[in-house]
Chains A and B, each alone.
Chain A
Amino acid sequence: MEVKKHKGSEEMSNNEGVIYRISGPVVTATGIDARMYEVVRVGHEKLMGEVIEIHGEQSVIQVYEDTSGIRPGEPVFSTGQTLSVQLGPGLLTQIYDGIQRPLQTLEEVMGVFITRGVDADGLDLEKKWEFEATASVGDEVSGGQVIGTVQETDTITHKIMVPPKASGKIKSLESGEFNVTQTVCTLDDGTEIQMMQEWPVRHPRPFNQKYAPDTPLVTGMRILDFLFPLAKGGAAGIPGPFGSGKTVTQQSLAKYSDAQIVVYIGCGERGNEMTEVLDEFPHLIDPNTGKPLMNRTVMIANTSNMPVAAREASVYTGITIAEYFRDQGYDVALMADSTSRWAEAMREISSRLEEMPGEEGYPAYLSSRLAEFYERAGRVETLNGDDGSVTVIGAVSPPGGDISEPVSQGTLRIVKVFWGLDAGLARQRHFPAINWLNSYSLYPQSLNQWFRDNIASDFPEVRTEISALLKVEAELQEIVQLVGSDALPMDQQLTLEVARMIRVYFLQQNGFDPVDAYSGVEQQYAMARAILTFQEEAKKAMAAGAVLEDVVNVPARIELMRARFAEGYLEKIEGLVEEMVNQIGNSVEAQ
Chain B
Amino acid sequence: MTSKEYKTITDIKGPLVFLEKTEPVAYGEIVTIRLSDGSTKNGQVLDTSDDMVVVQVFEGTEGIDRRAGVKFLGDVFKLPVSKGLVGRILDGAGRPRDGGPDIVADEKADIIGAAINPYSRQSPHDFIQTGVSAIDCCTTLVRGQKLPIFSASGLPHNDIALQIARQAKLKDSDEEFIVVFCAMGITAEEYNFFRADLERTGALENAVLFVNLADDPAVERLITPRLALTAAEYLAFEHDYHVLVIYTDMTNYCDSLRQIGAAREEVPGRRGYPGYMYTDLAMLYERAGIVKGKKGSITQFPILTMPGDDITHPIPDLSGYITEGQIVISRELHQAGIYPPINVLPSLSRLMGGCIGEETTRDDHKKISDQMYAAYAQGRELRGLVAIVGEDALNERDLQYLKFSDIFEDKFVRQGRDEDRTIDGTLNLCWELLANIDTKYLERLDDELISKYHPNEKKE
Contact = CB atoms under 8 A, between A and B. Distances in A.
Interface of A: 20-24, 28, 66-74, 95, 103-104, 106-107, 110-115, 241-243, 266, 268, 270-272, 274-276, 278-279, 301, 303-306, 308, 341, 344, 347-348, 351, 357, 360-361, 397, 399-402, 427-429, 481-484, 486-487, 512
Contact of A344 (B75, B275, B374): B275
B298 to A, nearest CB: 12
A275 B118 contact: yes
A113 B114 CA distance: 6
B268 A243 contact: no
Contacts of A243: 320, 325-326, 348, 350
A400 B117 contact: no
B239 interface: no
Nearest to A427: B345
Contacts of B318: 399
Contacts of A112: 116-117, 120, 237, 291-294
A335 to B, nearest CB: 16
B26 A69 contact: yes
A389 B320 CA distance: 35
B389 A483 contact: yes
Contact of B124 (A272, A305, A357, A401): A272
A308 B25 CA distance: 23
A301 B115 CA distance: 12
Given A275-B121, A486-B395, 11 more contacts: A22-B49, A23-B47, A66-B112, A70-B26, A95-B118, A111-B120, A243-B350, A271-B116, A275-B119, A304-B286, A308-B279
B27 A113 contact: no
Contacts, number: 199
A570 to B, nearest CB: 22
Interface residues of B, number: 73
Given A22-B49, A71-B24, A427 B115 contact: no
18 contacts: A23-B47, A68-B110, A69-B76, A70-B26, A70-B27, A73-B50, A113-B120, A271-B116, A271-B121, A271-B286, A272-B124, A301-B119, A305-B286, A308-B279, A400-B312, A400-B317, A482-B388, A484-B385
Contacts of A115: 114
B197 interface: no
Given A22-B48, A305-B283, A242 B118 contact: no
Nearest to A66: B112
Contacts of B121: 271-272, 274-275
Contacts of B117: 103, 106-107, 110, 112-114
A487 B388 CA distance: 14
A47 B262 CA distance: 30
A22 B374 CA distance: 53
A67 B18 CA distance: 20
A95 B122 CA distance: 15
Nearest to A341: B278
A23 B385 CA distance: 56
Nearest to B291: A112
Nearest to B319: A242
A403 to B, nearest CB: 13
A480 to B, nearest CB: 8
A67 B27 CA distance: 7
Nearest to B25: A71
A482 to B, nearest CB: 7
B377 A272 contact: no
B267 interface: yes
Nearest to A275: B121
A304 B279 contact: yes
A587 B76 CA distance: 79
B118 A103 contact: yes
B119 A486 contact: no
Contacts of A266: 118
B336 interface: no
B389 to A, nearest CB: 5
Contacts of B119: 95, 103-104, 106-107, 274-275, 278, 301
Nearest to A74: B24
Interface string B65-87: 00000000001100000000000
Nearest to B377: A428
A73 B275 contact: no
A348 B50 contact: no
B267 A486 contact: no
Looking at A95, A361, A427, A484, the one whose CB has the most chain B CB atoms below 10 A away is A484
Contact of A22 (B27, B110, B289): B27
B307 interface: no
A4 to B, nearest CB: 26
Contacts of A360: 269-270
Interface in B52-74: none
B29 interface: yes
A399 to B, nearest CB: 6
A68 B115 contact: no
B114 A301 contact: no
Nearest to B261: A351
Contacts of A429: 370, 373-374, 377
B50 A20 contact: yes
B193 interface: no
Contacts of A68: 26-28, 76, 110, 112
B214 interface: no
Nearest to B351: A272
A248 to B, nearest CB: 9
B346 A427 contact: yes
A399 B317 contact: yes
Interface in B345-360: 345-346, 348, 350-351, 353
A235 B292 CA distance: 37
A401 B312 contact: yes
B126 interface: no
A483 B353 CA distance: 39
A298 to B, nearest CB: 14
Contacts of A276: 123
Given A68-B28, A399-B317, A114 B114 contact: yes
A481 B388 contact: yes
Q: Which 6 A-B pairs have the closest CB atoms?
A: A400-B312, A21-B49, A304-B282, A484-B393, A68-B28, A103-B119
A107 B122 CA distance: 13
Contacts of A23: 27, 46-48
B115 A71 contact: no
B317 A348 contact: no
A360 B274 CA distance: 11
Contact of B275 (A95, A279, A361, A397): A361
